Amino acid sequence: MRKAKPNITELECIEENKVRSVLNRMKSESFFHDLAETFSAMSDTTRVKIIYSLCLENELCVRDIAAIIGTSDSAISHQLRTLRNMKLVRYNKVGKMIYYSLDDIHINNLVAEGLRHVDEK
């Protein structure tokens, strides 16, 4: 016969103590959604090139980003919108030009840490 447990709900698992310990410290669904979205913003070659370029040079306009990366203005503009929506970049309009920059220091740090991971492999 099964031993009685002091827990509220049943769990289909193997090491119940570990599982409960993690569940107690688990974050909300919306947290994981936002976190995944942040990484997702950096998960495309074009976008990560944009971000890396903005690490090297604080402010760049759309045409110059396109020139650096070697794609069409349109493709860059679409990707910049994604980065804007996901709060990874800010922009500053000056006449007909729009200067983009990274939104906060954590983006720089994420690139730096990702770089270390890649270098280690």
Q: Which does 115 bind (CB under 5 to 8 A by kind): a copy of itself, DNA, none?
A: a copy of itself
Quick one: 1 or 94, whose CB is closer to a copy of itself? 94
Using CB under 7 A, which of the segments 17-25, 26-34, 63-71, 104-112 binds DNA?
Answer: 63-71
CB of 44 to a copy of itself, least distance (A): 6
Quick one: 63 or 106, whose CB is closer to DNA? 63
CB of 3 to DNA, least distance (A): 15
Name the nearest CA neighbour of 99 among 84, 85, 82, 86.
Answer: 84
Sheet-wide strand order for 89-94: 60-61, 97-102, 89-94
Distances (CA, A) of 15 to 4, 6, 30, 76: 16, 15, 27, 48
